[in-house]
Structure 1
Amino acid sequence: METESKIMLPEDIQELELKDCHGLGSCLTEDVFLLLNIQRGGSSLTRCVVKDCEGMKCILKSSSFKNERRPLVRNNSLCPALQNLELLELIKLPSLVELCEWESICGATLPCGTLSCLKSFCIHSCPSMTKLFTLRLLQHLQNLEVINISSCYQLEEIVVDDQEECTTSTSTPSSSNSSSILPKLRKLSLDDLPKLSNFYEGTIFCDSIERVVIRYCPNLKRLPFFFPTVAGQLSPPPTLKVIEILELEREWWESLEWVDAGMQVVLQPFVRFHNRIIIVTPRI
């Protein structure tokens, strides 16, 4: 009598690396976490690296969402599996077009706790991405400390207000007046993004920023960061240490548009122009 064979994998996996897994449409689904035995009672998965996987179009995918008018259920199995993830690296994924498939559905709500512990995010050489984070996803990334984006040649916008796209004709919020908060963001690196024209239409509050590195982003015209005033005067974050720009891009820096006209003057003492190539590690 034949018995059904089962794939048995270790429990409490802390690190997951997928490399050269061609033909996968997505990598983090309910089925994957069922195999990893981490779909119940929380998860020990803290680090995930996806590299050199041709055909992968998205990273997170929920098959449980069927009705476009109904929010995702809160007990979605991806939720506990991704609650403790701290590092996510996406490298050389030529077909990748979005991070979360369910975000493309109007009215969908990300499961509570999804990526809520993520501290470091790195994406490198993903040439099909045109937009990176949606505003709905960004609201879950309140513990994000490091963002490293490089060599994504079709990337046009980093944060897009998907909530505005789903509003009805009777509700017309303006994305230019919206804001988001990244309270723990310490390091931001934007490198070799030739089509990047907009970071975010609204404003972003990041009072913990320490280091900003921008190079080879010739079409980026505006930085969305907003800093509070102290005693009526515009004040940079007390944590800010340096803004690194290539010397050959000095003219680009001086032509940037700002939320407040005085912000460039306030930030100028932190700017360092370099002739050398700047290498920023995304790890924390």
Structure 2
Amino acid sequence: MEGVKMLEKVLLHLDNQNIKYLKLQGFDDIDESDAFPLEFFSKVPLPNIEMLAVVDSAFKEIFPSKLPDTENYAKILSRLKKLELRNLHKLESTGLELLTWVASSNLAWLEVECCASLKLLFTSSTAKYLVQLQHLYISNCEALQSVIVAYQLHDDDDVITFQELKELSLSKLPKLENFYTGKSTLNFPVLKDVMVTECNRMEHLFTFSTAKSLKLLNKMEISKCESLKSIVVATEEVDKPRENLAFPNLEKLSLSQLPKLESFFAGNSTLKIQKNWVEVWISECSSMKTFSQGDVELPNHQNLRRVYIDGVRFSEDNLNAIVSQKFENRSKEAALMS
């Protein structure tokens, strides 16, 4: 691979001890293996590398499963704090679904964009090791069906906790049906910002058990998801009428252009949005009949909350009643026009 050979020559003339960021771009002359050439790290050690970007290339694998010294090469990923993968149209495996690579991961920032052949990112077994991950951005991956897939068919007794994840962004993923396909409980104890747009096969975002872990959630923006029916879906075994769902730090909730959205929370528990200052924006959600199947509690004083539906501000206390009345008005208007 001529590009790799040239890269080796260049790096050999630099002070490798001070290289913390490496960007590899335009590697289209890939040999039969189609794998990222990790071997050159043994020829040109980069002991302090923290950020790696691979863009505009034809690799099918980044951290491949078969290498003569996989354990030694795994140290590369253990040093990485930021990984960017962009415009890799043939990419089928990042290697982050392989335990060998992530067992000692310190990855804090992961951005995956325009990887048209990628179908999954992690397995349930490897996701448990991404304890340092703080930012996860995935966009324009046409084949992606799930971010995390169950490692085993009966992978239902575990808890997967993203201990440091603060930002989650899912954008333009037309085949994404679920964030996670298994039955384990996902926890996001420090997640603050969630942005989801144009994920047209997704029917819900969080389960009730996962939503209970979102104690630090500050902002949620969901838009242009054609099949989305609810943001939080309830299951019989965990959604008990006396068990509340609380978002104590939520300041902004935006739901827009969600034609099949029926409610924010499809459960009977009381939904509590407790932050002193909160904004709720709902627009172009024509199927939304109620905000929650159970009661909704907002801050008492109207100056501490702003509720907008299709651009109109409402000051009433009962968010369910506001949404229901708006749905009835739309239905009447549609009947008159038909």
State the secondary structure of the residue aligned to 1:252.
coil
> For 2:29 and 2:172, how far apart are their aligned partners in 1?
27
- Kindly report the root-mean-square deviation, in angstroms, between the aligned alpha carbons of the 2 structures: 3.2
Q: Give the one of 254, 257, 270 matched to 2:230.
A: 254
CA contact (8 A) 1:213 1:245 kept: yes
Number of the residue aligned with 2:309: none
Q: Superposition pairs for residues 65-214 of structure 1, below 5 Å?
A: 76-100=71-95, 103=98, 109-110=99-100, 114=104, 116-162=105-151, 164=152, 174-200=154-180, 201=182, 202-214=184-196
Number of the residue aligned with 1:15: 21
Shift of 1:34: 1.0
Shift of 1:81: 2.1
Query: 1:17–1:255: structure 2 CA closer, same or farther, 3 Å change rule?
Result: closer
Residue identity in the other structure for 1:90: L
Query: 1:117–1:9: structure 2 CA closer, same or farther, 3 Å change rule?
Result: farther
> For 1:195 and 1:89, how far apart are their aligned partners in 2?
21
The superposition leaves residues 205-261 of structure 1 with CA deviations (integer Å, 9 ceiling, x where unpaired) of 110000100111121123356658xxxxx8553321011112x55982537534554
Residue identity in the other structure for 2:228: W
Report the structure number with the largest CA radius of gyration: 2
State the secondary structure of the residue aligned to 1:16.
strand
Query: 1:127–1:44: structure 2 CA closer, same or farther, 3 Å change rule?
Result: same
Please, which moves more after superposition, 237-246 or 144-153? 237-246
Q: Give the one of 34, 56, 59 matched to 2:62.
A: 59
Query: 1:32–1:264: structure 2 CA closer, same or farther, 3 Å change rule?
Result: farther
Shift of 1:83: 1.6
Number of the residue aligned with 2:40: 32
Unpaired runs of at least 5, structure 1: 1-5, 66-72, 104-108, 165-172, 229-233, 276-284
> For 1:178 and 1:91, how far apart are their aligned partners in 2?
32
The superposition leaves residues 68-100 of structure 1 with CA deviations (integer Å, 9 ceiling, x where unpaired) of xxxxx8x82212222221110100101000111
State the secondary structure of the residue aligned to 1:82.
helix
Relative CO higher for 1 or 2, CA cutoff 8 Å, sep ≥ 6? 1
CA contact (8 A) 2:176 2:201 kept: yes
Q: Give the one of 49, 60, 64 matched to 2:53.
A: 49
CA contact (8 A) 1:46 1:87 kept: yes
CA contact (8 A) 1:82 1:113 kept: no
Q: TM-score, normalised by structure 1?
A: 0.71
> For 2:72 and 2:164, how far apart are their aligned partners in 1?
27
> For 1:133 and 1:238, how far apart are their aligned partners in 2?
24
Number of the residue aligned with 1:3: none
CA contact (8 A) 2:205 2:230 kept: no
Q: Determine what percentage of the aligned residue pairs are the same residue.
A: 21
Query: 1:254–1:227: structure 2 CA closer, same or farther, 3 Å change rule?
Result: closer
Unpaired runs of at least 5, structure 2: 1-7, 258-338
Number of the residue aligned with 1:106: none
Residue identity in the other structure for 1:221: E
